[in-house]
Chain A
Amino acid sequence: MKRPQNLVYGLDDKPPAVIVALNGLQHCAVVSINLVIVVFVARAAGGSVQVVADVLAVAMLVLSIGTMLQTARVGPVGSGFMCPATFSATYLSPSLLAAQVGGFPLAYGMTVFGGVLEAVVAPFLNRLRAVFPTEVSGLVIFMVGVSSGVAGLRTVLGPGAAPVSGAEWVVGALTLGSMAAFNIWGSAIARMLCALIGLVVGYVAAGIAGLFDPQTVVAMAGAPIFGLPHLSHLGWSIDVTLIPPFAIASLAAAMKAAGTITMCQRMNDADWVRPEMDSIRRGVLADGLSTIVSGALGAFGTNTSTPAVGLAAATGVTSRVVAFMVAAIFFATAFLPKVAAFIAGMPRPVIVAALLFAMSFIITNGLQTMTSRLLDVRRTLVLGLSIFAGVSVEAFPVIAHSAPRALAPIMGSSLVLSAVIGFALNLLFRLGVRKTVSLTIRSETHDHQVLEDFFRKQGGMWGARPDVIDRALFGVIQLVDAVAENCWRGGPMTVTASFDEFNLDVRLSYEGTLLEFPDRRPSDHDIQESEDGVRRLAGFMLRRNADRVRSDIKDGISRVHFHFDH
């Protein structure tokens, strides 16, 4: 691992205490925004202000434990990166459902189930992509945003909601408006903390408008300065009909954790070329354990905090000492009941504005993930029809009510229905896609454009990731360039490409001598002074470009095999 130049304090550095404290506080501010999710679900479970405050105290303890699990590498657990835990929007929609159906015990029990499933799938994450390809992961993230945003709106606009007063509209608009304004026009620090600033604006506005529940004031006044979290709300139950939504949320959380840890890898290694699976597996396992601990202690699903990792990238401080500080701050806050009571009394328009703000980013994240694949007609239909299915459940709830009882767990949730249809159509539409294709080129007439057209067209049909296709294309063109200079005696070169969800294998054969693929770069002097140096540099680049390279020569025919993990 080579330290990037832009890092001020790297992973293993020990920054001065002031830097650690200030960075720790900033990360806590970023992570705390998602405590809104805890408030939202705890209220849906019917918790009073006092009970919601108790749940929040436990939630802060969970964030402390989750951050430690992720950062400290103990046995097979923990990525070792500065990657704080937060409460996850991924679990919001299923947790709300559980809270409404079975109160706190069902929400906690199902959260434990989600965590166990994530921990179990962690070692098999790579294989999971067969049923959960990138664009379907994006679809799930997108629908998490849609379903959670709609759930937020129902609390103010739904048939069972209390009518919205004029003051509530104003406070909601001020909260959302200030979050958006600081995010778009604010300084770098204001942008990072825009949601927190918006919450402060919302609290002040709600105070002026007299929107605080009198219970909140009583709870705050009555709360001691120091105190242990109360666990009177604790209990666990399982409902099999809620397994599908929690299973999908759990798998989505695993995928998101893998993505966040990949970001950490890139930030901390200037030589980063591709995701390193060991720390991803350890990180996803830690993430699952964090959710298990959360459900066991009395809170909801957790996940790695992508905004916090983004903050570390912006400040150039990725030291894991900062993560230990984050854990310490949350641990200390768990024993300050006045803080929990203050957050627990968050007024309705503030909470909904914060949810809509956060879900806008989740939806965009889902869109970006979906479009990170080359989208051919097959994938366009998979995504389009699945989104229609999910949105139709939100628009026409009668679909769920009139569905057979056995299908209720699927038809009752826009997230689940959309994901299930996405999985099914993905498997169905892949029938008939050719997996192996060949192209023949000639040394005297080879044209890069022909190779590019060939790989782009096939990549689209396979739904391969554009970055992997780019790497394969570079490998083939660079090999052709390098061997055409010195190694190729003439005749045809055959390019064969085979693809499945996990692998892209490209085999090239030509008449001539083999190119060397050294594992060390030739010196600057060798590259400048000799053709051999340039050729060895080409081989070195090709070795690093692919995940595996194999070559041999048989009957005067050289054969090169590039393997790319997909």
Chain B
Amino acid sequence: MKLSESAQDGVVVVQPQGRIDNTSVKEFGDRLAQVGGTAPYRVVIDSQETSYINSAVFRALLIARKQIEKAQGRLVLCAMPAEIMRLFEIAAVTDAFVICHNRDEGIAEARA
């Protein structure tokens, strides 16, 4: 997995590329904890380049959501490929997150 990060309109955009599995989920979770624990507490995860996630990734996402919401911030997921969306559906967590079609919508939602 490769992780890139950028700031746009007061929102931090995290873009994981490739597979997030047992070997990389800790790095992913640590990075989310870092950006989620720092102002402006508005984070978008752009998944367009993500090819695989496992159950441990949902744990990292749920922890990040809890941390960000505690600081009155907002976590938004966007640009999910169909296969990643399917994994959210079979994990029954689609209602637990705000999910947008693309990055622009995601940033607008995070700023709302």
- Residues of chain A whose beta carbon lies under 8 Å from any beta carbon of chain B: 270-271, 273, 448, 470, 474, 477-478, 481-482, 484-485, 521, 524, 527-528, 533-535, 537-538, 540-541, 544-545
Contact = CB atoms under 8 A, between A and B. Distances in A.
Interface stretch (B32-40, B41-49, B53-61, B104-112): B53-61
Q: Is the interface of B mostly helix, strand, loop or mixed?
A: helix
A533 B58 CA distance: 11
B62 A527 contact: yes
Q: Top 4 nearest A-B pairs by Cβ distance?
A: A538-B55, A544-B90, A537-B55, A481-B54
B93 to A, nearest CB: 8
Interface residues of B, number: 21
Contacts of A540: 91-92
Contacts of B30: none
Contacts of A270: 89, 94
A545 B54 contact: no
5 contacts: A524-B62, A527-B62, A533-B59, A541-B87, A541-B91
Contacts of A534: 55-56, 58-59
Contacts of B2: none
A448 B62 contact: no
B96 A477 contact: no
Contacts of A537: 55, 58-59, 91
Nearest to A520: B92
A73 B83 CA distance: 34
B22 interface: yes
Contact of A521 (B56, B83, B92): B92
B19 A448 contact: yes
B41 to A, nearest CB: 18
Nearest to A535: B55
B70 interface: no
Contacts of A482: 54-55
Given A541-B90, A545-B90, A527 B52 contact: no
A534 B25 CA distance: 12
A538 B87 CA distance: 11
Contacts of A538: 54-56
B54 A527 contact: no
A481 B22 contact: yes
B27 interface: no
A537 B93 CA distance: 11
A524 B91 CA distance: 11
Interface in B71-112: 83, 87, 89-94, 96
A528 B62 contact: yes
Interface in B1-44: 19, 21-22
A485 B89 contact: no
B22 A485 contact: yes
B91 to A, nearest CB: 5
A271 B95 CA distance: 11
Given A271-B89, A485-B22, A527 B58 contact: yes
A448 B21 contact: yes
A528 B63 contact: yes
A241 to B, nearest CB: 46
Nearest to A449: B19
Nearest to B92: A521
